[in-house]
Amino acid sequence: MMMQPLPPSVTPLRAPEQVAFHRTELSLILSLYGRMVAAGEWRDYGISCLRDVAVFSVFRRTAEIPLYRIEKRPKLRSKQGMYAVVGTGGQILRRGHDLAAVLRVLERKLIRAVDD
């Protein structure tokens, strides 16, 4: 049986695209997460992969709002940079093109936590 082509007014259904963290990105994030857990600062995390953004949320306790959100927004790649660290109140603590450089804002918090 020969398949008939679809008329131009009908578009085939596609699953919506999803933004996700790559293995190397997750490696950087989870390395920082492990150090913060060892320092007693963080206790839980959640990952959300949505259509426009991937979010790694960090919690002090499971039932709370996230302390920090590490976001990846590919649409901002050519503008401010696709990576951002967002604080509890929604303030952007750091944004940039290099994930390691963006995560340094949280590294400084780790150094202060260990020094205390």
Domain spans of the chain, in order of start: 23-115
> How far apart, in whole angstroms, are the C-alpha atoms of residue 41 and residue 61?
10
For residue 6, give every residue at least 6 positions away whose Cβ sits within 8 Å of its Cβ, in sequence order, or none. 12
Residues 58-74: pLDDT tens digits?
A: 998 767 789 999 999 98
Q: Is the pTM of this model over 0.95?
A: no
Give the model confidence (pLDDT) of 71-108 as tens digits: 999 888 888 889 999 998 889 999 999 999 999 998 87
> What sign does the dihedral 27-32-38-44 (CA atoms) show?
negative
DSSP assignment string, 46-96: EEEE-SS-EEEEEESSTTS--SEEEEE-GGGTTTT-SEEEE-TTS-EEEEE
